[in-house]
């Protein structure tokens, strides 16, 4: 089935990078202020979702779901729920990190929610990729020289990391200590991560940011 791409309203500074993630057959969902990225991404919406409090409702033939402004779900969360309801299993989130930190954290929670439903999801910004590591192993190739592992859903245990400057075997990462921050992929290798218990946020970083 096609991949669902959800575009939020957080800043995108490097559209060339963002476009590199897109496929011609992606199903594009623009969420309210995410519509400002339509021209930069160069792909028309298959679905528009929003309460239109931060962007005017467009005059378009694209399918549009108008939401009330007073609601529990953010526009992005609603879009993910709707895509899951429609049967999508693979997700890419763009314009969902940066800007307001509360919305960024909310979208990291959305990664956990999608993982809980057995979906695969990648959140990408100008400098990094973020995904949940739980039941399936993850890998970090050498074109992403730095990566971090963060416990954002309670303690993660029985963690193994190979192919990295700081390998782990049977380790535990608690949520209150960033033990897995800023590891490095060994030259010519691919780092591999498994989690035996719990879930981790994997952040691949293209270059170090302070």
Q: Label the pairing between strands 120-124 and 90-94.
A: parallel
pLDDT at 29: 98
pLDDT confidence band for 57 (50 / 70 / 90)? confident
Instruction: Work out the average pLDDT over 59-64.
Output: 92
Q: pTM here?
A: 0.93
The count of C-alpha atoms lying within 13 angstroms of the C-alpha of 52, restricted to the half-sphere facing its C-beta, is 10
- Backbone φ and ψ for 162, nearest 5 degrees, come out as -125, 160
As a whole number of angstroms, the distance between CA 150 and CA 68 comes to 34
In the CATH hierarchy, which fold is given to the domain comprising 4-126? Rossmann fold (3.40.50)
pLDDT at 78: 96
Identical topology for domains 4-126 and 133-205: no
Q: Which helix (H) or strand (E) holds 8?
A: none
pLDDT of 40 > 80? The answer is: yes
As a whole number of angstroms, the distance between CA 25 and CA 79 comes to 18
Q: Token digits for 58?
A: 């467009």
Q: Which residue's entry shows tokens 């939020």?
A: 8
pLDDT at 207: 67
- CB count within 10 Å of CB 50 equals 26
Give the chain's mean pLDDT: 94
The lowest-confidence range among 63-77, 113-127, 142-156, 169-183 is 63-77
Domain boundaries, the chain: 4-126, 133-205
In the CATH hierarchy, which fold is given to the domain comprising 133-205? Jelly Rolls (2.60.120)
As a whole number of angstroms, the distance between CA 19 and CA 14 comes to 9
The lowest-confidence range among 18-32, 56-70, 112-126, 171-185 is 56-70
């Amino acid at each position: 089935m096609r991949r669902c791409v959800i575009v939020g309203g957080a800043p995108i500074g490097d559209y060339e990078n963002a476009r590199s993630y897109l496929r011609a057959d992606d199903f594009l969902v623009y969420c309210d202020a995410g519509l400002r990225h339509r021209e930069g991404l160069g792909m028309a919406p298959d679905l528009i979702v929003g309460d239109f409090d931060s962007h005017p409702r467009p005059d378009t033939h694209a399918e549009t779901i108008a939401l009330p402004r007073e609601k529990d779900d953010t526009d992005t969360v609603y879009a993910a729920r709707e895509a899951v309801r429609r049967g999508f299993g693979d997700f890419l989130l763009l314009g969902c990190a940066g800007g307001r930190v509360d919305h960024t954290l909310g979208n990291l929670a959305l990664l956990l929610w999608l993982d809980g439903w057995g979906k695969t999801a990648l959140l990408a910004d100008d400098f990094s990729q973020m995904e949940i590591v739980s039941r399936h192993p993850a890998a970090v190739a050498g074109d992403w020289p730095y990566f971090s592992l963060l416990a954002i859903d309670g303690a993660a245990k029985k963690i193994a990391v190979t192919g990295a400057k700081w390998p782990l075997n049977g380790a535990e990462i608690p949520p209150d200590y960033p033990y897995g921050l800023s590891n490095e992929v060994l030259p010519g290798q691919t780092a591999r991560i498994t989690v035996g218990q719990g879930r981790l946020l994997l952040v691949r970083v293209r270059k170090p940011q302070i």
